[in-house]
Amino acid sequence: MPVRIITGAQWGDEGKGKITDFYAEKADVIGRFQGGNNAGHTLVVRDLDGVPHKTVLHLVPSGILWPDKQCVIGAGVVVDPKELLQELVQLELDGIEVSPERLRVAANAHVILPYHKALDEAREDALGESKIGTTRRGIGPCYEDRSARRGITMQELVDPDVLKEKLEAMVPEKNHMLSFFLHKHLKLDSVLEEYVELGEKLRPYVGGARACVQQALANRENVLLEGAQGALLDISHGSYPFVTSSHTVSGAACTSLGFGPKHVTSVIGVAKAYSTRVGAGPFPTELDNELGEHLRTVGAEFGATTGRPRRCVG
């Protein structure tokens, strides 16, 4: 360190969460730098009595299980406010403190809205047998709006007047797009009411993620950053178009949290003895037989986010 980056070296599901948790002990700041709640990091940690407890995280960095660590969600992450709140509530129920002092969400991280999910679902259904195999969580459509410069950020989510103005422009446009797929329309008033409330609840957590990392670097403290998915699902370098919608490679950590590559002292690519992937796309030497089923069963290869069985290769 000061900056250590953990990425997946395959198609994701390599066990990055447990590796992040391991290195988090010696880190001061732990952050998530890309993806959304289409990823799931599963951690099994024993308590003081030796009883194992399973925690599945989708947006909150894996380092949150360490009580003295600062956690951040970077601008490269797309945030589903409902999912984030549910995750925070579940962590609190599990006895893990997640105060705004411990978790900061980048103000310019983009927000997943109901029309993103609706479009994701409608497009997948329309593709039929050619579908990509997305999680239907609205990840791709949200990144589309981000690149098209018409997305809604976390800092806009927590400002009701700005949110209203943005949604008044976006919901009619998205409903027009949904009409093409014969999908039901969204009601502006309902979306606005729900997301104003979500923004109010998340307001204390928004802002300061980049500052946390920069301050840590200035103090020569250790920063640990984790990605989601794997290198072979990178939007530019993966098996396009059967990829995710963000950059999963280590360089994305720099752009997400606003620091130069000179601060990166190590990159850890996590791999396992066999490969798995969820969703469609090319998968050389896939074991579509009893051996593949054995790997899936013994390795508990089912998606932490969707529960879908993972495809396996030797």
Residue 109 vs residues 79, 256, 271, 306: alpha-carbon distances, Å: 7, 9, 28, 23
Paired tokens of 147: 């690149």
- Please state, in angstroms and rounded to a whole number, the distance separating the CA atoms of residues 64 and 72: 10
Nearest one of 130, 127, 146 to 138, comparing CA atoms: 146
Nearest one of 223, 225, 299 to 268, comparing CA atoms: 225
Do residue 187 and residue 313 come from a single domain? no
- The beta-strand segments (E) located in 201-278 are 223-226, 264-270, 275-277
Which pLDDT belongs to residue 180? 96
CATH code of the domain covering residue 80 = 3.40.440.10
- Please state, in angstroms and rounded to a whole number, the distance separating the CA atoms of residues 34 and 247: 7
Do residue 41 and residue 168 come from a single domain? no
User: What does the pLDDT average to over 113-142?
Assistant: 91
Give the pairing type, strands 52-57 and 41-46.
Answer: antiparallel
Nearest one of 5, 75, 73, 2 to 223, comparing CA atoms: 2
- Please state, in angstroms and rounded to a whole number, the distance separating the CA atoms of residues 224 and 213: 10
Which pLDDT belongs to residue 295? 83
Active site residue 41: yes
* DSSP-based three-state secondary structure for 45: strand
Active site residue 13: yes
Mark which of 182, 202, 222 sits at the end of a domain.
Answer: 202
Do residue 244 and residue 267 come from a single domain? yes
Nearest one of 90, 96, 10 to 58, comparing CA atoms: 90
Do residue 293 and residue 264 come from a single domain? no
Do residue 185 and residue 311 come from a single domain? no
Do residue 210 and residue 308 come from a single domain? no
| pLDDT tens for each residue of 163-183 | 999 999 999 999 999 999 999
- Packing angle of the helix pair 114-127, 139-147 (nearest 10 deg): 110
Longest pairwise C-alpha distance within the chain = 57
Which pLDDT belongs to residue 179? 97
Which pLDDT belongs to residue 314? 64
- Please state, in angstroms and rounded to a whole number, the distance separating the CA atoms of residues 193 and 2: 43
Instruction: Flag whether pLDDT at 126 surpasses 70.
Output: yes
User: What does the pLDDT average to over 150-154?
Assistant: 98
Which pLDDT belongs to residue 91? 94
Do residue 174 and residue 225 come from a single domain? no
Structural domain count of the chain: 3
Which pLDDT belongs to residue 18? 84
Do residue 115 and residue 155 come from a single domain? yes
User: Residues in the chain, how many?
Assistant: 314
Which pLDDT belongs to residue 207? 98
Which pLDDT belongs to residue 83? 96
Which pLDDT belongs to residue 133? 78
Do residue 169 and residue 233 come from a single domain? no
Percent of the chain with pLDDT over 70: 97
Residue 77 vs residues 3, 52, 88, 154: alpha-carbon distances, Å: 18, 30, 17, 11
Q: Please indicate whether residue 288 or residue 31 has the higher confidence score (pLDDT).
A: 31
Catalytic entry in 28, 41, 183, 247: 41
| pLDDT tens for each residue of 30-56 | 999 999 998 877 777 777 667 777 888
Mark which of 172, 187, 202 sits at the end of a domain.
Answer: 202
- Packing angle of the helix pair 160-180, 114-127 (nearest 10 deg): 20
Residue 256 lies in domain: 3-109+205-271
Based on the number of CB atoms within 10 Å of its own CB, is 241 exposed (0-12), middle (13-18) or buried (19 or more)?
Answer: exposed
Which pLDDT belongs to residue 48? 60
Residue 298 vs residues 105, 271, 278: alpha-carbon distances, Å: 36, 17, 17
Which pLDDT belongs to residue 292? 80
CATH code of the domain covering residue 128 = 1.10.300.10
Instruction: Supply the mean pLDDT for the chain.
Output: 92
Nearest one of 259, 247, 250, 251 to 210, comparing CA atoms: 259
Nearest one of 244, 220, 219 to 234, comparing CA atoms: 244
User: What does the pLDDT average to over 234-254?
Assistant: 95
User: Are 91 and 159 spatial neighbours (Cβ–Cβ below 8 Å)?
Assistant: no
Instruction: Flag whether pLDDT at 99 surpasses 90.
Output: yes
Half-sphere exposure of 219 (CA within 13 A, CB side): 12
Do residue 215 and residue 195 come from a single domain? no
Nearest one of 178, 170, 120 to 148, comparing CA atoms: 170
Which pLDDT belongs to residue 54? 83
Mark which of 173, 202, 231 sits at the end of a domain.
Answer: 202
Do residue 120 and residue 198 come from a single domain? yes
Do residue 14 and residue 87 come from a single domain? yes
Instruction: Flag whether pLDDT at 61 surpasses 90.
Output: yes
